[in-house]
Amino acid sequence: MSKQVILTGLRANNDLHIGNYLGALLPLVDMAKTKSSEYQVNIFVPDLHSFTTPIDHSKLQEQIVQNLRVFVAAGLPLDNDNVHIYRQSYIPAHSELTVILNSFAYMGELSRMTQFKDKSEKLENVTAGLFDYPVLMAADILLYNAAYVPVGDDQTQHLEFTRDIAERMNNKFGELFVVPNAVKEQHSFFGKEQGLRIKDLQDPTKKMSKSDESAKGIIFMNDSPEEAKKKIMSAATDSLANVAYDPENQPGIASLLQIHALLKGQSIDESAKEFAGQTQYGEFKAAVAEVVETFLTDFQNNLVSVNDDQLRAKLEASEKAMNLAANQTLHKVQKAVGLRG
């Protein structure tokens, strides 16, 4: 690979909501469009990661395909040779390198991972797959010599682990891997909005999450525009009668301004100026609801119009190229550890 590699993935999820879209998917698509002239952009569905916690396996394949179709509906270009989309499990080197890296990963460092601790506390039976998640993630990155990996706060430890194990292997066997850049450099490269968290409409002190049983504070991507409008109009605000971007004192209004700005493709300052001095929250909510309605209508039309043949062709081409690249790295590692002559 002659160009530096940017690598990112988005887990298959049948309950995609507007928080996922604005916080993860939209930045991913924008990055692919803006960076692909200078970098190779690898975007994959981490399907092997999908069942490190319990799932309905009968729905996984459907979710993987839907995940890919959502990428395209969100604007991911299928005709760009510098953008590759692929399924993790279709590149066997991911699994093979994970097995090798396991013998150089330490139990102590894996057990200290915050995400492992948080998730394992909620499970009756904790799997080795969940414990080993950071090793598979390291393989995902190191196979392609990726320098840039956009990570949210919950993944920073995993990136640092990837850097540690890459340096450990390089020190022992020579220059096997490109060490991905540190978290601070990643944030600088991808911008300060990395890891953006859209807030719950009913409780703007917490992020929008599908774990909210009532779903009243969540706008799902398959909600009808009318349903979304009702949720916006019933969003929690305050009694200050002032539309201003003040996340600390007016989290509900700030969250709605954030949604408005992102969907209109403008800065929060621009949206705040648009409503400056407005004291009627009903009018403000109606304006936000209109933007959300238009967005969902367009997105859902795009999703229905995705050309599955073009998507399949892109997948096949990308997976062929990614197998070649990944196998080169894997073979180098196999030779270094004595598995190949």
Residue 210 is among the residues annotated as catalytic for this protein: yes
Per the residue annotation, which of 207, 216, 264, 332 is the catalytic one? 207
CA distances from 204 to 23, 64, 251, 279 (A): 15, 30, 6, 20
Tell me the C-alpha to C-alpha distance, in Å, between residue 264 and each of 228, 260, 335: 16, 6, 52
Distant-in-sequence, close-in-space partners of 334: CB < 8 Å, separation ≥ 6 = 100, 340
Beta strand segments in the chain, E: 5-9, 40-45, 83-87, 146-148
Distance of CA 270 to the CA centre of its chain: 26
| Residues in the chain, overall count | 341
CB contact burial 291-312 (16+ within 10 A = b; e otherwise): bbbebbeebbeebeebeeeebe
Q: With the C-alpha atoms ordered 225, 229, 232, 234, is the resulting torsion angle positive or negative?
A: negative
A 10 A CB-CB count for 227 gives 15
Phi, psi of 184, rounded to the nearest 5 degrees: -60, -40
Four-residue CA torsion sign, 241, 212, 294, 29: positive
In angstroms, the Cα distances linking 280 to 202, 238, 270, 275, 277 are 19, 11, 19, 10, 9
Among 210, 216, 264, 332, which one carries the catalytic annotation?
210
Residues contacting 146, CB < 8 A, separation 6+ = 5, 6, 7, 42, 178, 180
Which of 266, 23, 60, 252 lies closest to 153 in space, CA to CA?
Answer: 23
Measured distance CA(91)–CA(68) in Å, rounded: 16
Question: Active-site residue among 35, 59, 117, 119?
Answer: 119
CA distance 183 to 318: 27
Catalytically active residues are: 119, 207, 210
